[in-house]
Amino acid sequence: MTQLAPYACLPEQSRGRRHAEPSLPAHASSVRNPHQRDRDRIVHSTAFRRLVYKTQVFLNHEGDLFRTRMTHSLEVAQLGRSIARALNLNEDLVEAIALAHDLGHTPFGHAGQDALNECMAPYGGFEHNLQSLRVVDELEERYPAFNGLNLSFETREGILKHCARRNAELINAQEPNGIAARFLNGTQPSLEAQLCNLADAIAYNAHDIDDGVRSGLLTMEQMQDVSLFARYHAQTLAEYPSLQGRRVLYETIRRMLSDQVYDVINATRAALQQHAPASADEARQCPAIVQFSAAMYEESKALKSFLFRNLYRHPQVMETTDWARGVVRDLFAVYLAKPQEMPAAYAERSDVPRAVADYLSGMTDRFATREHARLTA
């Protein structure tokens, strides 16, 4: 890892973990810093392994080469580390946040989340960022001395990307001036957390184009309506006029990704020069620093809007997501009425609706499908 800038989250200045752990011997602490340990705990978690069978856009059974929540998380981590290195930020922390940011996602992607949120509306609702935090704080069962993974403050701060004020107040009451405080006082998360948010957006815009064209739901001709894509497509054909097929798509996406990465690096360097934070805490007090240029922000927003209209709302996608919502609603109703259909660890809890949400959100696409067939046959 490169020499970290003063505004980076320095491992030796970590705000620590929720539960005290025995001090590490000198040889161990010199091998892995706190954020590297976080990353390793995440990779070895059950929730992380489940991501390979959770939907990104296309349901898991619709094709072997479509992105899943795991491949998406890996792509976010790769983009994040590349940008972090250029900005002298903490690459290990960026990687840990990126790998953990979707741990709380339901089966069937956003359709599953929306359905579960509707079911949980009378019981406090459901939001996958909060659930990701819940997974690493409470639901993983790997260690004898505590629930969850006991991650560092900095990684948990980055996982909590969004939070409604009501939920922030609840978290802050349990953890004063902790990871939810910024949603109450208007400050920012660490630069590493800000970077993961942008890397997330860059990754899913790019790979959703790839998956959309691969599926046949989007065409290269349609994509010409998006200036961000059309520009790099034209560059590709100008340099390689005889290029055909998927290589044209892949090269166009590669150029688009690269320019977005360099844009973030350059725009963020300008913001760092303007605000000149001398520490990670000073950076948290500044306006958002990790950013696109104004022009790239508008082009990225236009691409996202295009994908929403033409891919995420495509009739074929809507048909499968409507089915997925029905599966989640049916399972929630059955488990709520018959908690004994869940494993004992969930069935015996007093907070039955939240237990159902925890159990359901941890399912893979294919397990949820099998459970639905078993319980509604």
Per-residue pLDDT tens over the stretch 42-60: 999 999 999 999 877 655 4
- pLDDT in the model for residue 75: 95
The pLDDT, as a whole number, for residue 26 is 66
The stretches in the chain having pLDDT less than 50 are 60-61
**Quick one: pLDDT at residue 304?**
94
What pLDDT does residue 327 have?
A: 97
Domains, in order of start, for the chain: 32-376 (1.10.3210.10)
Percent of the chain scored above 90 by pLDDT?
A: 85
Asked whether 203 and 79 are in contact (CB, 8 A), the reply is yes
pLDDT at residue 28, as a whole number: 64
3-state SS, the chain, equals CCCCCCCCCCHHHCCCECCCCCCCCHHHHCCCCHHHHHHHHHHCCHHHHHHHHCECCCCHHHCCCCCEHHHHHHHHHHHHHHHHHHHCCCHHHHHHHHHHCCCCCCCCHHHHHHHHHHHCHHHCCCCHHHHHHHHHHHHCCCCCCCCCCCCEHHHHHHHCCCCCHHHHHHHHHHCCCCCCCHHHHCCCCCHHHHHHHHHHHHHHHHHHHHHHHHHCCCCHHHHCCCHHHHHHHHHHHHHCCCCCCHHHHHHHHHHHHHHHHHHHHHHHHHHHHHHCCCCHHHHHHCCCCCCCCHHHHHHHHHHHHHHHHHHHCCHHHHHHHHHHHHHHHHHHHHHHHCHHHCCHHHHCCCCHHHHHHHHHHCCCHHHHHHHHHHHHC
Measured CA to CA, the distance from residue 329 to residue 308 in angstroms comes to 24
Q: Which two tokens stand for residue 50?
A: 């489940």
The whole-angstrom separation of Cα 84 and Cα 81 is: 5
- Residue 195 corresponds to which tokens in the numbers above? 């970077």
pTM, to two decimals: 0.94
Write down the pLDDT at residue 117.
Answer: 97
Q: What is the pLDDT of residue 57?
A: 67
* pLDDT value at residue 276: 98
CA angle 36, 37, 42 (to 5 degrees): 100
